[in-house]
Amino acid sequence: MALKVVRPGMTTPNNLRRFELEAEALARLEHPSIARIYEAGTADTPGGGPYFAMERVQGRPIFAHCADRNLGLRARVAMLAKVCEAIEYAHGKGVIHRDLKSSNVLVCEDGNPKILDFGVARLVERGEGARTELTLEGKSSGHWQR
């Protein structure tokens, strides 16, 4: 299990809202190729901040995994298909990742990919438009600790 928290000193209203949106996005998703969230809340400690407990994914970024294993074209396409299926699933649940890159797709020892880091995800409600936080140029979602 991994614990994700907002870094001390980074608890601005915008960062807290983005953290809450990430937890909500992950809570919508239960797919074998998407890291799972188990619990979210606020720490019951002095100055306790928000947290969420999630699946700890140990693996290599997808490009590094393919290179390390010298995977052929068929194996690479099969792995990409699994990632696409997971993204299609997320879209069906109203979650748009918005930061999909090789470092956010880890391949586990069993050869299955896991999509991580929904920190800038967009949540789309049917018939209600979208809820999102803007990512400004030069800004990253790197305000969190794992």
Is residue 44 among the annotated active site residues?
Answer: no
Burial 18-47 (b: 16+ CB within 10 A, else e): bbebbbbbbbbbebebbbbbeebeeeeeee
Residue keyed to tokens 């995994």 = 65
Catalytic residue among 44, 99, 110, 117: 99
Distance set, CA 27 to CA 6, 10, 34, 35, 41 (Å): 18, 23, 11, 10, 12
User: How many CA atoms lie within 13 Å of 92's alpha carbon, on the beta-carbon side?
Assistant: 9
Residue keyed to tokens 């052929």 = 72
CA distance 96 to 117: 12
Burial 51-70 (b: 16+ CB within 10 A, else e): bbebeebebbbbeebbeeee
- Give me the active site residues, please: 99
